[in-house]
Amino acid sequence: MLDHLEDGIVVLEGGVVSWLNPAATLMFPGVADAAGRPLLEMVREHRINALAAKALQRGQEEAAEVGLSISNRTLYVRAVPLNAGGLLLLFRDLTRFRHLETVRQQFVANLAHEMRTPLAGLDLAAQTLADELPAEGDARLFLNRLLQESRRLQSTVANLSQLAALDDEGVPVDRAPFDARALVEDNALKFTNEGEVVMRGRSEGNRVEIVVSDTGPGIPARDLPRVFERFYKADRSRGAKPGSGLGLSLARHLIELQGGTIIAESTPNIGTRMRIRLPRGSLTSA
């Protein structure tokens, strides 16, 4: 069974490789027969060696994603201590998965970039037409529709660009004061037709918590884990509100970028509660 597994398996005993499966041999083709040799000679990657040493020293499982400098592969490595000082190493090859993720991110970034100019052109043309047309009539109606839809597309494209920039990771955190009203004018007010929207803020130690509760329709349990996904909109059939479904995924990215968390709690027909926790930090700009 172990011979046919795609994951690489290596057993270390007394600091040297005592057994490995064929998948591990393929992942680390440097030495013809690794059995009996030190781990580093086989994997040629100091971070894997360090991970193994840490697991042995602490006597507990350690795991990390490691990019191999020699072969350009990305591996997920787990080091599991065994009885009598032995160590089990498990290697999962994530190269293809990471590659697909990069392709997807680049595709979205390129698409957003390519759409920006023609959309701005459409908007400008429609605005110019708007100045020429009489205030009433069918043509004005269609034109307003044109303007409205092109703004909607522009805002979706702007959100996608922002997500693409966040995927790229090099985004610096800028902590500045902001108007908290804008926060509730997002989803809470949009989805709540009657009742109330309450926003609470408090600090506990070095963290602050912001909770936005509403008495809106709530989010069905099956949708709740997915509302932070890109383009995900719960319950499209029933009284759909305008929106691209990108807001919460952006919110989560921005919050996690600052070391915070956002969770959604919801009961259908009762309401929704968004809980945001952020580490306290000093402002980076006024």
Q: Which is nearer to Mg ion, 91 or 191 (CB)?
A: 191
CB of 113 vs ligand ADP, minimal distance in Å: 21
| Residue 217 interacting partner from ligand ADP, Mg ion, none (CB closer than 5 to 8 Å by kind) | ligand ADP
Q: DSSP secondary-structure letter at 173?
A: P
Name residue, tokens 């912001």.
210
Q: Which is nearer to Mg ion, 55 or 274 (CB)?
A: 274
Amino acid identity, position 157: V
Residue 136, C-beta contacts closer than 8 angstroms, at least 6 positions apart: none
Task: Give the per-residue contact string, 167-206, with ligand ADP (x = CB under 6 A; - = no).
Answer: --------------------xx--x---------------
| Residue 214 interacting partner from ligand ADP, Mg ion, none (CB closer than 5 to 8 Å by kind) | ligand ADP
CB of 148 vs Mg ion, minimal distance in Å: 18
Residue 219 CA, distance from chain mean position? 21
Q: Which is nearer to ligand ADP, 150 or 272 (CB)?
A: 272
Contact between 8 and 23 under an 8 Å Cβ cutoff? The reply is yes
CB of 165 vs ligand ADP, minimal distance in Å: 18
Name residue, tokens 């996608």.
160
CB of 251 vs ligand ADP, minimal distance in Å: 7
CB of 200 vs ligand ADP, minimal distance in Å: 15
CB of 200 vs Mg ion, minimal distance in Å: 20
Strands lying side by side in the sheet with 271-279: 197-204, 207-214, 271-279, 261-267
Contact between 2 and 12 under an 8 Å Cβ cutoff? The reply is no
Q: Which of 48, 74, 73 is nearest to 63 (CA)?
A: 48
Continuous segment of H or E residues that includes residue 103: helix 95-132
**Pick from 10, 66, 219, 262: which binds ligand ADP (CB under 6 A)?**
219
Q: How many residues bind ligand ADP (CB under 6 A)?
A: 20
216 counts as binding ligand ADP under rule CB under 6 A: yes
End-to-end CA distance of the chain: 61
Distances (CA, A) of 204 to 119, 207, 216: 46, 5, 28
**Pick from 233, 255, 260, 275: which binds ligand ADP (CB under 6 A)?**
233
243 counts as binding ligand ADP under rule CB under 6 A: yes
156 counts as binding ligand ADP under rule CB under 6 A: no
Do the bridges between strand 87-93 and strand 207-214 make them parallel or antiparallel, or are there none, so unpaired?
Answer: unpaired
The site for Mg ion (CB under 5 A) is made up of 187, 243, 247
Contact between 259 and 281 under an 8 Å Cβ cutoff? The reply is no
272 counts as binding ligand ADP under rule CB under 6 A: yes
| Residue 244 interacting partner from ligand ADP, Mg ion, none (CB closer than 5 to 8 Å by kind) | ligand ADP
Backbone φ and ψ for 15, nearest 5 degrees, come out as 80, -5
Binding site for ligand ADP (CB under 6 A): 187-188, 191, 214, 216-217, 219, 227, 232-235, 243-249, 272
